């Protein structure tokens, strides 16, 4: 177990850190874009009232053109992990085999059911069934994603010595890390609330009439409340269960700054929602989510697999990292304009028919 001195208070930049930073950036993009698509599915499930079909249509239109592109951010994280940190990838995929499998089933069901529903234009019970699968999968998948991240963050998935591998039981190795303590599950629910909150905030801007705007404004406020409550619970659980993690969360100037800016973003979002400044609310929501992601990354730093493997220790050969970063740079030069074009085509109203 590491001593308190190991909790980082300063950032050092090396090649592995640059790649890890890129992975967090990519995860951040996935949360902002893909996460909102999941959140949309959650609100699809909870669509209530007379205009529930209109709500669902709004959600479907917002997700429609770009879910596949949004989804590639997750693949990028995985690919970077197995290229640049192959040991970490092999380790996580082994120890978290069960939750990752469940998450995959959720991703498959959500993606395909959404597309099937969109393209199945016969309006009958079959189409409603696609809709149900889509929304239930949207609810479960973020929870499991959060559980996996929470388990890693809490140091429950350490690399074991060959000796302890020989004696460890199935339950202790493959189930306990994510199922035994409530902390990963709190992170899972937090992830769900975050995605739902993002989606609702975005949809207030996407909505074309006031009634719809009000519906999602209320949803955004509700999910923000849930999010804040869960954040407090998570922090308390960390304190009880995992002192090292709690230190990372609360010690040092950077950690406190992270908390401060996240709170600021949350307050801005609440204020903007209350005063119906929806553009501002959307920005604040995105900022809040990004701060949470980076806050988590900072808590982990310099560990990749807490409590005892650092980013540097797990990195692959230098040449691979260099080439990957080079490829990322070139790829970004192609991708960025493409993304700008995509969002210009779809997220500006005047282009519509």
Partner 1 sequence: MSDLLFARSQMAMSLAFHIIFAVVGVGMPALMVIAEWRWLTSRDPLQLELAKRWAKGTAILFAVGAVSGTVLSFELGLLWPTFMEHAGAVIGMPFSLEGFAFFTEAIFLGIYLYAWKRIPPRAHFAAGVVVAISGALSGAFVVCANAWMNAPAGFRMVNGQVTEVDPIAAMFNAAAPSQIVHMTLASFAATGFAVAGIHAFALRRGTPHRAFHRAALQIALWVGLPAALVQPLSGDWSARSVAERQPVKLAAMEGHLKTGPAAFVIGGWPNAETLEHTGAIEIPGALSFLLRGDPTAVVQGVDAVPPDERPPLAIVHLAFQIMIGCGTVMAALSAWGGWRWWRRKRGGGSALPDDRRFLTAVVLAGPLGFIALEAGWTVTEVGRQPWIVQGILRTANAVTPMPGLVVSFVLFTALYVGLAIAVLFLLWRQIIKTGVTPTPMGLTSELPIPTPGSTASYPTP
Confirm or reject binding of residue 163 to ligand HEM (CB under 6 A).
no
What is the spatial distance between Cα 1 and Cα 282, in angstroms, rounded to a whole number? 41
DSSP 305: E
Confirm or reject binding of residue 78 to partner 1 (CB under 8 A).
yes
Binding mask 113-142 for partner 1 (x = CB under 8 A): -xxxxxxxxxx---xx--------------
Instruction: Provide the H-helix boundaries in 64-96.
Output: 67-84, 86-95
3-state secondary structure of 117: helix
Binding mask 59-78 for ligand HEM (x = CB under 6 A): ---------x--xx--x---
Judged by CB, which is closer to partner 1: 64, or 243?
Answer: 64
- We find the least distance from the C-beta atom of residue 310 to partner 1, in angstroms, to be 17
Take residue 236 and report the two structure tokens written for it. 């308390």
Judged by CB, which is closer to ligand HEM: 68, or 353?
Answer: 68
* 198: nearest Cα among 61, 42, 19: 42
Q: What is the DSSP string of 286-325?
A: HHHHHHHHHHHHHHHTTEEETTTEEHHHH---HHHHHHHH
Confirm or reject binding of residue 256 to partner 1 (CB under 8 A).
no
- What is the crossing angle of helices 86-95 and 97-119, to 10°? 90
Q: Is 49 left (phi over 0), alpha (psi -120 to 50) or beta?
A: left
What is the spatial distance between Cα 108 and Cα 129, in angstroms, rounded to a whole number? 15
Which residue, chain included where needed, has tokens 């204020």? 271
- We find the least distance from the C-beta atom of residue 75 to ligand HEM, in angstroms, to be 5
- We find the least distance from the C-beta atom of residue 111 to ligand HEM, in angstroms, to be 8
Q: Looking only at residues 305 through 324 of this chain, which bind partner 1 when binding is defined by CB under 8 A?
A: 316-317, 319-320, 323-324
Q: Which does 80 bind (CB under 5 to 8 A by kind): ligand HEM, partner 1, none?
A: partner 1
Q: Which does 127 bind (CB under 5 to 8 A by kind): partner 1, ligand HEM, none?
A: partner 1
Cβ neighbours around 147 below 10 Å, total: 25
- We find the least distance from the C-beta atom of residue 76 to ligand HEM, in angstroms, to be 10
Q: Write out the residues near ligand HEM by the rule CB under 6 A.
A: 68, 71-72, 75
């Amino acid at each position: 177990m590491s001593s308190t001195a190991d909790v980082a208070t300063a950032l050092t930049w090396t090649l592995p850190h640059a790649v890890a930073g890129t992975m967090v950036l990519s995860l951040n993009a996935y949360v902002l874009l893909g996460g909102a698509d999941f959140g949309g599915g959650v609100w699809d499930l909870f669509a209530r009232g007379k205009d529930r079909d209109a709500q669902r249509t709004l959600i479907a239109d917002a997700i429609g053109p770009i879910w596949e592109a949004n989804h590639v951010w997750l693949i990028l994280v995985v690919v970077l992990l197995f290229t640049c940190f192959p040991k970490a990838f092999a380790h996580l995929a082994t120890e978290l085999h069960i939750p990752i499998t469940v998450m995959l089933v959720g991703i498959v069901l959500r993606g395909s059911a959404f597309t099937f529903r969109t393209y199945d234009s016969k309006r009958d019970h079959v189409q409603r069934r696609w809709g149900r699968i889509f929304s239930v999968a949207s609810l479960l998948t973020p929870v499991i994603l959060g559980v996996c991240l929470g388990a890693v963050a809490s140091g429950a998935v350490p690399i074991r010595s060959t000796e302890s591998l020989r004696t460890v039981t199935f339950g202790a190795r493959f189930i306990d890390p994510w199922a035994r303590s409530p902390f990963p599950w709190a992170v899972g629910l937090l992830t769900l609330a975050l995605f739902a909150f993002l989606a609702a905030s975005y949809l207030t801007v996407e909505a074309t009439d006031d009634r719809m705007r009000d519906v999602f404004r209320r949803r955004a406020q509700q999910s923000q409340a849930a999010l804040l409550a869960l954040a407090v619970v998570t922090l308390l659980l960390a304190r009880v269960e995992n002192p090292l993690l709690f230190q990372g969360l609360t010690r040092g100037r950077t950690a406190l700054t992270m908390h401060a800016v996240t709170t600021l973003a949350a307050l801005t979002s609440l204020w903007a929602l209350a005063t119906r400044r929806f553009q501002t609310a959307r920005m604040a929501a995105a900022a809040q989510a990004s701060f949470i992601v980076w806050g988590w990354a900072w808590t982990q730093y310099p560990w990749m697999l807490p409590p005892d493997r650092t980013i540097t220790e797990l990195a692959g050969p230098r040449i691979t990292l260099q080439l990957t970063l080079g490829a990322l740079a070139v790829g970004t030069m192609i991708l960025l304009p493409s993304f700008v074009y995509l969002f210009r085509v779809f997220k500006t109203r005047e282009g519509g028919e």
